[in-house]
């Protein structure tokens, strides 16, 4: 009887302890869930917006915002591995997030159109991180007719200077916009306009471009195939528009004197050979290398003034004379890329006004830069040609109705395509504000 009583008591005690353990376990789970909810719940923050005033600095702006010097030092040190706050420009706005007790939680700067720096205080220490702002694309259409120059035509069509230059560079190997444009020529193109958080932030690729003159019509399709690493502008046949050399060392300018074996020299007052081409342009206009090369001469050379000489592939050499100054850091032996600025237009040496004297030779034999015929870069590879043809067919089909009637503004597809910008999201006539 005593044994049965002891067994019953043990059973009751077991059930009681089991229930207590379950209740404790349940309570612990509830606390864990509660902790997780508290961690995931957004902190109650207040936001303050501040701006770095003209002729001021971030440090002074922080003091004005009520941040103490010790905290400022900690913020600057935390940001330094990602971005030096010394380089924040006057006029830059930034936000300060604070907890309800006034403690700073984070400070956020937009350090570029698509880059954001956040300096954050967590677990008793400051840290920083840069995030890329996500963008969306909208394709917009522009067109115009030449009355005087491409530049003035673009301005008349409400293009930003940046986009005019981009369009000129698409055909930089086919057209010398300094001398080959004529009144009545027409142009049109479709370009990606980039938006971040509802605000226009810049331009992407020109998807399609066309330039028509009385003699010729040029078309360009942007094609980017990551599988074959093919990227650039091509015509309908798949030939690259890029050549070994650009047609002009200036993006915009005018030819004031041609290559000649006998030309009357305005300073020496006698006839002598003119071994290059003169481009008239305002003082300080950027001069670009027409091809990849290496600097073999740089400095001031008598009547040539400030001059740069570049060696290129296959025995080609180019000379750039009468510069006002050289690109900072450029020296003998420097490698330069096609289109890279190497100096600026001036009137040093024997010159009656600001201009660039440009010469070209091959294996020591002088060439007329305006007449030399140069090979193109590689075409679309054979294994990507079918995809390329399909791509330009889609672009041509999707844009055909826009060019027929520029007033139409319809949604015709998605511009964010993994390989290539194939179909636009929306076509509009507009400019970037």
* pLDDT on residue 393: 92
As a whole number, mean pLDDT of residues 373-385 equals 84
Instruction: Tell me the per-residue pLDDT of 163-193, one tens digit each, with 9 for 90 and over.
Output: 998 999 899 888 888 778 899 999 999 999 9
* pLDDT on residue 347: 93
What is the chain's mean pLDDT, rounded? 81
Q: How far apart are CA 297 and CA 278, in angstroms?
A: 20
Least confident of 118-122, 262-266, 411-415: 411-415
As a whole number, mean pLDDT of residues 188-211 equals 90
* pLDDT on residue 183: 93
As a whole number, mean pLDDT of residues 350-361 equals 92
As a whole number, mean pLDDT of residues 266-286 equals 77
Q: How far apart are CA 169 and CA 153, in angstroms?
A: 16
Least confident of 6-20, 38-52, 373-387, 402-416: 402-416
pLDDT at position 29 over 80? no
Residue 399: pLDDT band by 50, 70, 90 thresholds? confident
pLDDT at position 212 over 70? yes
Residue 411: pLDDT band by 50, 70, 90 thresholds? very low
Q: Percentage of the chain with pLDDT > 70?
A: 79
As a whole number, mean pLDDT of residues 345-367 equals 92
* pLDDT on residue 38: 44
Residue 329: pLDDT band by 50, 70, 90 thresholds? very high
* pLDDT on residue 285: 94
As a whole number, mean pLDDT of residues 353-367 equals 92
As a whole number, mean pLDDT of residues 273-295 equals 91
pLDDT higher for 173 or 324?
Answer: 324
* pLDDT on residue 31: 46
* pLDDT on residue 431: 35
Residue 204, CA distances (Å) to 200, 225, 417 in order = 11, 16, 13
């Amino acid at each position: 009887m005593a044994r049965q009583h002891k067994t019953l008591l043990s059973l009751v005690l077991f059930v009681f302890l089991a229930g207590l353990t379950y209740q404790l376990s349940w309570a612990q789970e509830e606390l864990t869930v509660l902790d997780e909810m508290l961690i995931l719940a957004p902190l109650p923050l207040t936001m303050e917006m501040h701006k770095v005033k003209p002729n001021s600095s971030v440090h002074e702006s922080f003091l004005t915002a009520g941040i103490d010097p010790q905290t400022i030092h900690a913020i600057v040190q935390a940001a330094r591995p990602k971005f030096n706050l010394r380089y924040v420009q006057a006029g830059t706005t930034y936000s300060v997030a604070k907890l309800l007790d006034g403690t700073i939680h984070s400070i956020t700067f937009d350090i570029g159109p698509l880059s954001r720096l956040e300096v954050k205080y967590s677990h008793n220490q400051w840290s920083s991180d840069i995030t890329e702002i996500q963008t969306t694309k909208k394709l917009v259409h522009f067109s115009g007719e030449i009355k005087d120059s491409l530049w003035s035509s673009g301005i008349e069509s409400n293009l930003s200077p940046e986009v005019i230059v981009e369009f000129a560079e698409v055909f930089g190997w086919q057209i010398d916009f300094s001398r080959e444009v004529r009144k009545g020529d027409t142009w049109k193109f479709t370009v990606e306009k980039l938006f971040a958080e509802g605000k226009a932030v810049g331009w992407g690729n020109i998807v399609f471009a066309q330039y028509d003159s009385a003699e010729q019509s040029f078309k360009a399709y942007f094609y980017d195939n990551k599988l074959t690493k093919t990227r650039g502008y091509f015509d309908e046949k798949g030939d690259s528009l890029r050549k070994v050399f650009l047609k002009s060392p200036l993006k915009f300018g005018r030819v004031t004197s041609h290559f000649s074996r006998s030309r009357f020299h305005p300073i020496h007052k006698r006839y002598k050979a003119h071994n290059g081409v003169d481009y008239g342009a305002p003082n300080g206009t950027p001069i670009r290398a027409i091809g990849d090369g290496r600097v073999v001469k740089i400095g001031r050379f008598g009547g040539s003034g400030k001059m740069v000489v570049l060696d290129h592939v296959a025995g080609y050499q180019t000379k750039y004379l009468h510069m006002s100054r050289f690109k900072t850091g450029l020296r003998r032996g420097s490698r330069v890329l096609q289109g890279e600025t190497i100096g600026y237009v001036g009137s040093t040496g024997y010159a009656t006004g600001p201009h660039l004297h440009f010469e070209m030779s091959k294996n020591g034999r002088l060439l007329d830069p305006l007449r030399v015929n140069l090979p193109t870069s590689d075409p679309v590879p054979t294994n990507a040609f079918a995809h390329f043809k399909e791509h330009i067919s889609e672009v041509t089909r999707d844009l055909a109705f826009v060019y027929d009637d520029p007033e139409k503004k319809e949604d015709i597809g998605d511009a964010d395509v993994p390989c290539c910008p194939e179909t636009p999201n929306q076509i509009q006539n507009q400019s970037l504000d």
